[in-house]
Amino acid sequence: MTINKNKKTKGFTLIELMLVIAILGILAAVAIPQYGLYVRQSRYTEIKLAAEIVSNQLELCYELNQGAGPGNACNSVAPAAGPAVRGQATQAMLNRAANSSMVASVTLTAGAAPVVTVTPVTQDGILAADTYIVTGSVTNGGISDWGEGGVGCSKGYC
């Protein structure tokens, strides 16, 4: 009986294949949830942009009127007849801000400080309940800062 010492081994052993499958499984367990979060964060930027459109308009209104205008008019939506105060947000402007595949509605809440709430469309893992809310800090007749919050931010989309 002769032994051929020049014979080359071809292929992978079962242990090597199992090791590769285990490594791929671990990578998938970590990468897939992270990728899903990344996709939701990128889609949530459309929702944040809708709030930015309204907040920029509010800042302009405060600037033009050296404050909130008569009766905090900058913090509310203009009547249907048109803007009562220069730069005041109109319903048409809110509708344009909501003109996105990810945005269901944009609302402006009147009060001492402006509050813009964006409600998303349920899509791509983002739920309608994942609202985005920005609140303006009014100081010296102008808006000095915007604080962001809402359910979407608490989920890490901001």
Instruction: Enumerate the domain spans of the chain.
Output: 16-154
Amino acid identity, position 143:
I
Residue 43 scores a pLDDT above 70? yes
Percentage of the chain exceeding pLDDT 90: 44
Higher pLDDT, 40 or 85: 40
Contacts of 95 (CB under 8 A, 6+ apart): none
Whose CA is closest to 48, among 124, 155, 154, 153? 153
pLDDT digits (tens, 9 = 90+) for 6-23: 667 678 899 999 999 999
Write out the chain in H/E/C secondary structure. CCCCCCCCCCCCCHHHHHHHHHHHHHHHHHHHHHHHHHHHHHHHHHHHHHHHHHHHHHHHHHHHHCCCCHHHHHHCCCCCCCCCCCCCCCHHHHHHHCCCCCEEEEEEECCCCCEEEEEECCECCECCCCCEEEEEEEECCEEEEEEEECHHHHCCCC
pLDDT digits (tens, 9 = 90+) for 101-158: 899 999 988 777 889 999 999 998 999 999 999 998 888 878 889 999 999 999 999 8
